[in-house]
Structure 1
């Protein structure tokens, strides 16, 4: 039995935006049925020991296209989890443009770890994230964030970073911070090509983003540096089922198919090599799913940061970049090493300035 288990429900492949870098496949309307959702929840909860935690996440497409279904499944998961003494942790990332009463009810769930997607400067965001009819979406997302601020609902902002926009990330963080955002989650576009020049620009951006983070500690959080700071200073980190990658984490699609991570579902084609055997209705729990061996890549042997490396944790990122869950590529190594180095630089600077 797992002390924590991660279940991601892909509630629909549909989305009301057409983002230029989207990796989730064709935006067809294929909703998750309540029966499949409940069966997945049943199996996940049976995989968790008493007083353990089910980490339940909702994914799309845009998950709030199915806001009523999400509310129904949250209610169902709560009732089952309470009955067997399992804690429930909820999470969801949304594009922040759906304004229905049901979507607002989902976003303001007290126990929901909410993430809103916004790429920083309005011009950068609108150059990549438009509606089905090609209209900009930044202002709509900003309005949603303002409502969430007024309601006292905490959230983080996911900012996609790719070669064409990498230089603007720190300015985008400044812009969002002025609106009131305090938690930032930069996310590299792993599905595009990054050349050597792009890598050098990324390192420069990481340095500027680290300065932004350091100047606002402890009020601001930037995911690129928070984990590195915790590891470097020995601060205990909350244990999570991610990335269990098929063993401690399962994604279930509207067809009832199983994947080790929601980022690998795509259009849920039978030919997808990352699709796991079976279907959600084929068992009573997910305990038969086997874990991967510890990552052991020869290329990593000489790296002095390998004990602190994130690439051995996020197997799906490795697979996206190299086709091998146990082998990172130069981009992932660059990101990990640069973030660690800049974290140490900022922490040392703050320590010296305080003494």
Structure 2
């Protein structure tokens, strides 16, 4: 039995935006049924010991198109976890443009960890994140964020970073900060090509983001740097089911098919090499899924960052970049090394200036 289990329910493939860098496949109308969602919850609960915890996440497409379904599944999970003596944590990533009453009810659930996608400067956001009708979406997202702040709902902002916008990262953070955002989660577009010059620009952008982080400590959170602080401090980040990658984490597609991570579901095509055997109805638990072996790569041996390296944790990113869950590429190593370097620089400077 697992102490913790991560279950992501991909509640639909549909979306009301047409983001140019989207990796979730064709935007087909294929919602998850309540039965598939409940069976996924049941199997996850059967995989957890009685004093354990389930990390339940909702993903899409745009998940809030299925807001009523999410509310139903949250209520089902609350009852089921209470009966079994299991803790429940909730999370969801949304594009922040759905404002139906049910969607608002989901977003303002007090125990839901909410992530909203926004790429920083409005023109940068709108260059990639248009509606189905081709209209900009940044103002709608900023209006939603203002509403959430007005009711005291905390959220983090996911900022997609790619070669076309990498130079505006720190300016985008500054803009969002002026709107009241305090939790930032930069996320590299791993599905696009990064050349050597792009990598050099990325390192400059990471340094700029670190300067922004330093200037606002301890008021803000930036995931690239906060993660390094936690790892360096010795706090066990493994105390989460995320990146269990098919062992302590399962993603369920709308049709009930199983994947090791929600980022690999796509349109859930039959030839997807990352689709796991069986489906959500084909067992009582997920305990038959073996964990991956530890990464043993000769090229990594001389690296001093091995103990805090994220490429050893996020097998999904490795697979996206190289087709091998155990092998990172130069871009992932660059991100890890630059984030570590800039975190150390900021902390050393911060300690000196505050002591």
TM more than 0.5: yes
| C-alpha separation in 2, matches of 1:271 and 1:28 | 17
* Aligned pairs for 1:1-355 within 5 A: 1-235=1-235, 237=237, 239-355=239-355
Query: Any idea what the Cα deviations from partners look like across 1:6-31, whole Å, max 9, x if unmatched?
Result: 00001000000000100000000000
How many residues matched? Answer: 355
Query: Any idea what the Cα deviations from partners look like across 1:38-74, whole Å, max 9, x if unmatched?
Result: 0000000111111211000001000001000000000
| C-alpha separation in 1, matches of 2:239 and 2:145 | 28
| C-alpha separation in 2, matches of 1:235 and 1:217 | 20
Q: Secondary structure at the match of 1:185?
A: strand
Query: Any idea what the Cα deviations from partners look like across 1:177-233, whole Å, max 9, x if unmatched?
Result: 000000000000000000000000000000010011111111100000001012223
Alpha-carbon spacing, 1:279–1:59, altered in 2? closer, same or farther (3 Å): same
Q: List gaps (5 residues or longer) in structure 1.
A: none
Query: Any idea what the Cα deviations from partners look like across 1:111-164, whole Å, max 9, x if unmatched?
Result: 100000000000000000000010000000000000000010000000000000
Q: Secondary structure at the match of 2:194?
A: coil
Q: Secondary structure at the match of 1:124?
A: helix
| C-alpha separation in 2, matches of 1:292 and 1:199 | 29
- 1:264 is displaced (CA, Å) by 0.4
- 1:235 is displaced (CA, Å) by 4.6
Q: TM-score, normalised by structure 1?
A: 0.99
Alpha-carbon spacing, 1:190–1:184, altered in 2? closer, same or farther (3 Å): same
| C-alpha separation in 2, matches of 1:256 and 1:321 | 26
Q: TM-score, normalised by structure 2?
A: 0.99
- 1:276 is displaced (CA, Å) by 0.4
| C-alpha separation in 2, matches of 1:185 and 1:200 | 20
- 1:236 is displaced (CA, Å) by 5.5
Q: Secondary structure at the match of 1:311?
A: helix
Which segment is superposed worse, 229-238 or 290-299?
A: 229-238
- 1:255 is displaced (CA, Å) by 1.0
- 1:302 is displaced (CA, Å) by 1.4
| C-alpha separation in 1, matches of 2:295 and 2:70 | 35
Q: Secondary structure at the match of 2:50?
A: strand
| C-alpha separation in 2, matches of 1:251 and 1:233 | 30
| C-alpha separation in 2, matches of 1:242 and 1:94 | 18
Alpha-carbon spacing, 1:285–1:235, altered in 2? closer, same or farther (3 Å): closer
Q: Secondary structure at the match of 2:310?
A: coil
| C-alpha separation in 2, matches of 1:8 and 1:236 | 22
Q: Secondary structure at the match of 2:281?
A: helix
Q: What is the Cα-based RMSD across aligned positions, in Å? A: 0.8
| C-alpha separation in 1, matches of 2:326 and 2:182 | 33
